[in-house]
Chains A and B, each alone.
Chain A
Amino acid sequence: MVENDITVWAVIMAVIGGAIRVGTPFIFVSLGECLTEKSGRINLGLEGNLVMGAMVGYAVAYLSGSPWLGVFAAAASGCALGVLHALLCQHKSVNDIAVGIALMLFASGLAFFYGKPFIQPSAPRLPSFGLGNWSESPIVRAALDINALFFIGVLLAPLLSWFLLRTRWGNAVRVVGESGDAALAMGISINRVRLLSTMVGGGLAGVGGCYLSLYYPGSWSEGLSSGQGLMAVALVIFARWNPMYCLYASLLFGSAAALGPALQSVGINWGYYLLNAAPYFLTLIIMIITSDRRGTLSGMPGEFAK
Chain B
Amino acid sequence: MLEALDIGKSFGEVSALNNVSLQLKSHKVHALLGENGAGKSTLVKCLMGYYRPDSGQILFNQKEVVIDSPQRASHLGLGMVYQHFTLIPNMTIAENIVLSRPNLPLIIDWQKEIESLQTKMTNMPFQIDLHRPVRELAVGEKQKVEITKQLLLDTKLLILDEPTSVLTPTEADEVLGKIHQLARNQQLTVLMITHKFREVMQYADQVTVLRKGRFVATATVSEVNPQILSDMMVGGESLSKPPTRTLQSARIIKLRTENLTVHNDQDFAVIKNMDLEVAQGEIVGIAGVSGNGQKQLVEALAGQRPPHMGTIFAHDKKFCADLNTITRHKFFCLPEEPLKNACVGTLSVAENLVLRKFNRPPFSRWGMLRRGVIRRNAEALIQQYRVRTSGPEQPIAALSGGNVQRVVLARELAQEVSILVVANPCFGLDFKAVADIRAQLLAARNQGAAILLISEDLDEILELSDRFYVISAGQLVYQTTPAQADMNTIGQYMAGH
* A178 to B428 alpha-carbon distance, docked (Å): 25
* B82 interfacial contact with A, CB 8 Å: yes
Contact B70 A184 (CB under 8 A): yes
Given A166-B108, A168-B105, A168-B106 in contact, is the A175-B99 Cβ separation under 8 Å? yes
Q: Is B495 an interface residue (CB 8 A)?
A: no
Pick the most buried of A169, A182, A300: most chain B CB atoms within 10 A of its CB: A182
- Nearest CB in chain B: distance from A146 CB, A: 31
| A171 close to B88 (CB less than 8 A) | no
User: Chain A: which residue is nearest B103 at the CB level?
Assistant: A168
A–B Cβ pairs within 8 angstroms, 18 of them: A167-B106, A167-B108, A168-B107, A168-B108, A171-B104, A171-B108, A175-B88, A179-B88, A179-B89, A181-B84, A182-B87, A185-B70, A185-B82, A186-B70, A186-B100, A187-B69, A187-B71, A302-B88
Cβ of A294 under 8 Å from chain B: yes
Task: For the complex formed, measure the closest distance between the CB of B413 and the CB atoms of chain A, giving whole angstroms.
Answer: 28
In the bound complex, residues from chain B placing their C-beta under 8 Å from that of A165 are: 110
A196 shortest CB reach to chain B, Å = 15
A187 and B70 form a contact (CB under 8 A): yes
Residue of A nearest to B75 (CB): A187
Residue of B nearest to A169 (CB): B106
Asked if B65 is at the interface (CB within 8 A of a chain A CB), the reply is no
Give the residue of A167, A185, A301 whose beta carbon is less than 8 angstroms from that of B86: A185
Q: Which residues of A contact B305 (CB under 8 A)?
A: 294
User: Does A121 belong to the interface (CB within 8 Å)?
Assistant: no
Q: Does A295 contact B (CB under 8 A)?
A: yes
Q: Does B91 contact A (CB under 8 A)?
A: yes
* Chain A positions within 8 Å of B91 at CB level: 174, 178
Q: Chain B residues with Cβ under 8 A from A187's Cβ?
A: 69-71, 74
Residue-wise interface mask of A (77-110) relative to B, using a CB-CB cutoff of 8 A (1 in contact, 0 not)? 0000000000000000000000000000000000
Interface residues of A (CB under 8 A from B): 165-169, 171, 174-175, 178-179, 181-182, 184-187, 294-295, 299-302
Is B237 in the interface zone, CB < 8 Å from A?
A: no
A167 touches B89 (CB 8 A): no
Closest to A167 in B: B107
Q: Contacts A187-B69, A187-B74, A294-B265 known; A179 to B86 CB distance under 8 Å? A: yes
Interface centre among A165, A169, A171 (most CB of B within 10 A): A171
Minimum C-beta distance from A186 to chain B (A)? 5
Q: Cβ of B96: which chain A residues have Cβ within 8 Å of it?
A: 182
Known A166-B108, A186-B100, A295-B265; contact A181-B90, beta-carbon cutoff 8 A: no
CA distance A7 to B295 in the complex (A): 59
B100 and A185 contact, CB distance less than 8 A: yes
For B70, the chain A residues whose CB sits under 8 A away are: 184-187
Please give, as numbers and ranges, the residues of chain B lying within 8 Å of A171 by CB-CB distance: 95, 99, 104, 108
Known contacts A186-B100, A187-B69; is A166 also within 8 Å of B107 by CB? yes
Query: Measured between alpha carbons, how far is A166 from B87 in the docked complex, in Å?
Result: 19
Q: Which residues of B contact A181 (CB under 8 A)?
A: 84, 86
With beta carbons under 8 angstroms apart, the residue of B89, B90, B99, B105 that contacts A186 is B99
For residue A299, which residues in chain B have a CB less than 8 angstroms away from its CB? 90
Binary flags per residue of B96-120, CB closer than 8 Å to A gives 1, else 0: 1001100011111010000000000
A169 partner residues in chain B, CB cutoff 8 A: 106
Our count of residue pairs bridging A and B at CB distance below 8 angstroms stands at: 59
> Residues of B within 8 Å of A, CB-based: how many?
27
Q: Which chain A residues border B110 with CB–CB below 8 Å? A: 165-166
Instruction: Select which of B69, B80, B88, B105 is within 8 A of A182 by beta carbon.
Output: B88
Give the complex CA separation of A166 and B306 in angstroms: 37
Task: Please indicate which of the listed interface residues A165, A187, A295, A299 has the most CB atoms of chain B within 10 Å of its own CB.
Answer: A187
Say how far B221's CB is from chain A's closest CB, in angstroms: 30
A168 to B108 alpha-carbon distance, docked (Å) = 7
A7 CA to B306 CA, complexed, in Å: 51
10 further interface pairs, Cβ-Cβ under 8 Å (given A168-B108, A187-B70):
A165-B110, A166-B108, A167-B108, A168-B104, A171-B108, A178-B89, A184-B86, A186-B70, A186-B99, A300-B90
3 closest A-B pairs by CB:
A187-B71, A185-B86, A178-B88
Cβ distance A175 to chain B, nearest Cβ, rounded Å: 6
C-alpha spacing A96/B184, complex, angstroms: 51
> Closest Cβ of chain B: how far from A91's Cβ, in Å?
17
Chain A minimum-CB-distance residue to B48? A185
CA distance A300 to B90 in the complex (A): 9
Return chain A residues, CB-CB under 8 Å to B107.
Answer: 166-168
A302 to B106, CA, bound (A): 24
CB distance from A304 to the nearest CB of B (A): 11
Residues of B with C-beta under 8 A to A302: 88-90
Determine the residue in chain B with the shortest Cβ distance to A163.
Answer: B107
The answer for the CA separation of A179 and B100 in the assembled complex, in Å, is 13
Report B29 CB to chain A, min CB distance, Å: 23
Encode B279-310 as 1/0 by CB contact (under 8 A) with A: 00000000000000000000000000110000
Contacts of A295 in B (CB 8 A): 265
Name the CB-closest residue of B to A185: B86
Decide: B106 and A182 in contact? CB cutoff 8 A: no
In the complex formed, the residue of B with least CB distance to A187 is B71
Q: How far is the CA of A86 from the CA of B90 in the complex (A)?
A: 24
Contacts of A186 in B (CB 8 A): 70, 99-100
* Bound: A166/B91 CA distance, A: 14
Nearest chain B CB to A267 CB, angstrom units? 49
The complex places the Cα of A175 from the Cα of B105 at a distance, in Å, of 16
Closest to A170 in B: B108
Which residue of chain A is the closest to B146 with respect to CB atoms?
Answer: A185
* Interface-central residue, A168, A185, A187, by most chain B CB under 10 Å: A185
CB distance from A95 to the nearest CB of B (A): 14
Q: How far is the CA of A182 from the CA of B108 in the complex (A)?
A: 19
The residue in chain A whose Cβ has the minimal distance to the Cβ of B49 is A187
Residues from chain B with Cβ under 8 Å of A179 in the complex:
86-89
A175 to B134 Cα, complex, angstroms:
13
Q: Least Cβ distance of A54 to chain B in Å? A: 34
Instruction: Write the chain A residue with the least CB distance to B69.
Output: A187
* Chain A residues, Cβ within 8 Å of B89: 178-179, 302
Measured between alpha carbons, how far is A186 from B108 in the docked complex, in Å? 17
B69 to chain A: which residues have CB within 8 Å?
Answer: 187
Residues of A near B99 (CB, < 8 A) are 171, 175, 186
State the CA gap A169–B105 with chains docked (Å). 10
Residues of B within 8 A of A175 (CB): 88, 99
Contacts of B80 in A (CB 8 A): 185
| Residues of B contacting A300 in the complex (Cβ-Cβ under 8 angstroms) | 90
In the complex, residue of chain A having the shortest beta-carbon distance to the beta carbon of B149: A185
Chain A residues whose CB sits within 8 angstroms of the CB of B84 once the complex forms: 181
When C-beta atoms are compared, the residue in chain A nearest to B74 turns out to be A187
Q: Give A136 to B82 CA distance when docked, in angstroms.
A: 69
Give the distance to chain A from B279, nearest Cβ to Cβ, in Å.
32
Across-interface contacts of A182 in B (CB, < 8 A): 86-88, 96
